[in-house]
Chain A
Amino acid sequence: MEFSWDLVINAIVTGIVLGGFYAAVAIGVTIAFGMLDIVNIAHPAFMIAGAYLAFLGWEDFGFDPFVSMAVFAPCGYLFGRAFYRAYHYFFERRGDESLQGLAFFFGILFIVEIGVVLVFGVDYRSISEPYLESSVSVGFVSVPWRMLVPFLVGLGMLGSVHLYLSRTFTGRTILAVSQDVEAVRLIGANPIRAKEIAFGIAVATAIIAGVLLIIIQPVEPSITREYIGRAFAICVLGGIASIPGTLVASLILGVAEALTTTFYGPSWSPAVSFGLLLLTLIFRPVGIFGR
């Protein structure tokens, strides 16, 4: 593949835009895993569920994706809260072995992925809206709205979560829990309830990310596993519990993948996120903004 600056710049821009979307994917993991120590490897499963819900909404009810977000994200929030309650009751309380908790999330991931296969089959599904079909062009760089929308929503989500966590009482309780559970109890707040709300938010973000996913590209069930790598690579690289870190790491990953795809072809891109994750774990496990 011949080298040309046009290609590189296009790749970088694509990567940045993609990175915004990836931030939306990873923020849920940053909250659940980074801040609350819940190893939710099933996060991409919630995301893919969101994507297929958006598809159902579009196909059966004519929902615009934003309508789907408005409808399904709150459902995701409530479901996430209930789910965390069950998880806490059966696994966190036991305290014995994190082996079981980890295997549990793996089981959930698996069930959701196969469930989607059983219900929707392995064919690609996609949605389209007229306003998504065009692109924005600046000079020789052109970005389709299909990608720009998720980029903007992703940034918006990151900003909202950051504001929520730093400005509201519940949000700050969540941040406090992430640092010192005992201290939270001492000041009379309920750490379990905070974790429950936080997990609900994490699942809601996953649902939104899923809707964004089906905006960007057609989906099929096995995509789920690619996103485990992306979500955790970003979380770890960004510093586990840091929201600015999530953003920076998402952009890095986006650009790295875009460049790899441009010069080496798309069949290498799943390896980029996992490779980046392995490298981070080996050389700087605390991540960029981590302690």
Chain B
Amino acid sequence: MAATVLLGPYVSEYYYLATYTILQFIVLGTAWNILGGYGGYVNFGTAGFFAIGCYTTIVLNKIFPMPLFFEMLAAAVTAGLVGLGTGYLTLRLRGVFFSIATLALAIVLQTLVVNWSFVGGARGVYVIRPPISGVLMAFFGFFVPNGISYVQFLVVLMVALTMFAVLAAWAVEKSWIGIGLAAIRDDESAAETSGVPSLRLKLIATTMSGAIMGMAGAPFPYYVTYVDPATAFGLAIAVNSIAMPLVGGTATWWGPVVGAILLGSAQQILTVTISSAANLFIVGVLLVVFLTAAPRGVVGIVRSWKRGRK
């Protein structure tokens, strides 16, 4: 975090924008993996939860401007509740129905937003960045005498969120929640008859996953200053949040991180050189290639290599 701030005046704004995007994907991929990788339940509606975060900020900003931190909390609560609700209604069915339901949820939410003029409907809405609070400015003033730009502030915020998300995933993985989820993923009935409260654990995972995705979405309106449903609910979010953990490896917390850095950086480079549609195409191809040839992702490759050396 210190490095980001210190480098501030010396590095072009572009790198900050790229870093923000990659960090955002680390958060989304990590959140997705809590339910997907650990629990085995695939969420196709990441974009929906991300958009809940975006639009919570937009709505709150219009009604009653407040520090971004509180907007993020509100986003976490809203998205978490939606995750809980969806889970409660569908997690008792087969995993595949949960997945289809998450897809349905994303589309239903998108349709609602498109038809809601308060947040701009299909045309989208412009958002004015609020000033950074005095307290924070003073805090950063210690490190950087000239003060920091808004984008730099957002990047720092994202770094904090990323650390929080990864820490949460690590904590879940090592705890009884993670072990229970692993048992559920391997064989849900056997897990139940071994005493694992599967519905409860699945709901915890879904709620946490949704809440973190919402938090990732909350600063987005201030980052882009213009939000329309096509972007907030976009394909890029949907496919990346699945491809990055699967390419990186779903078994452990650092898989999504590696996947996000690899795929995210690749996309940043490719977008500059070719079109953004082409680079999403490559993400899709990489996803399918990894699923077929290296289903355990980079994590799996590294672990096999280590075992080979013993």
Identify the A interface with B (CB < 8 A). 39, 41, 90-91, 94, 97-100, 102-104, 106-108, 110-111, 113-115, 117-118, 225-226, 228-229, 232, 236, 267-268, 270-271, 274-275, 277-278, 281-282, 285
Contact = CB atoms under 8 A, between A and B. Distances in A.
Contacts of A285: 93, 97
Contacts of B280: 110, 114
Contacts of B44: 41, 106
B103 A228 contact: yes
Contacts of A108: 288
B246 interface: yes
Given A103-B291, A278-B105, A110 B95 contact: no
Interface of B: 36-37, 40-42, 44, 89-90, 93, 95-97, 99-101, 103-105, 107-108, 110-112, 114-115, 122, 185, 235, 239, 242-243, 246, 250, 277-278, 280-281, 284-285, 287-288, 291-292, 295
Contact of B104 (A94, A229, A267): A229
B285 A118 contact: no
Nearest to B89: A282
Contact of B96 (A39, A118, A275): A39
Contacts of B104: 229, 274-275, 277-278
B295 A94 contact: yes
Contact of B292 (A90, A267, A275, A281): A90
Contacts of A117: 277
Contacts of A236: 97, 100
Contacts of A106: 42, 44, 239, 242, 287
Nearest to B115: A267
Nearest to A104: B291
Contacts of A103: 42, 242, 246, 287, 291
A107 B89 contact: no
A226 B100 CA distance: 13
Nearest to A98: B95
7 contacts: A90-B291, A99-B185, A99-B250, A103-B287, A267-B115, A268-B111, A268-B115
B211 to A, nearest CB: 21
B90 A282 contact: yes
B243 to A, nearest CB: 7
Q: Which 8 residue pairs are nearest across A and B when measured between Cβ atoms? A: A271-B111, A274-B104, A107-B288, A111-B284, A107-B287, A110-B284, A114-B281, A274-B107
B243 A281 contact: no
Given A90-B292, A98-B95, 15 more contacts: A98-B40, A102-B42, A106-B42, A106-B239, A111-B281, A111-B284, A118-B278, A236-B97, A270-B111, A271-B111, A275-B104, A277-B100, A277-B104, A281-B90, A281-B101
Nearest to A101: B291
Nearest to A112: B284
A41 B185 CA distance: 21
A123 to B, nearest CB: 14
B101 to A, nearest CB: 6
From A114, A228, A229, residue with most partner B Cβ within 10 Å? A114
B288 A104 contact: yes
Contacts of A274: 103-105, 107-108, 111
A99 B281 contact: no
B32 to A, nearest CB: 11
A94 B99 CA distance: 21
Contacts of B111: 267-268, 270-271, 274
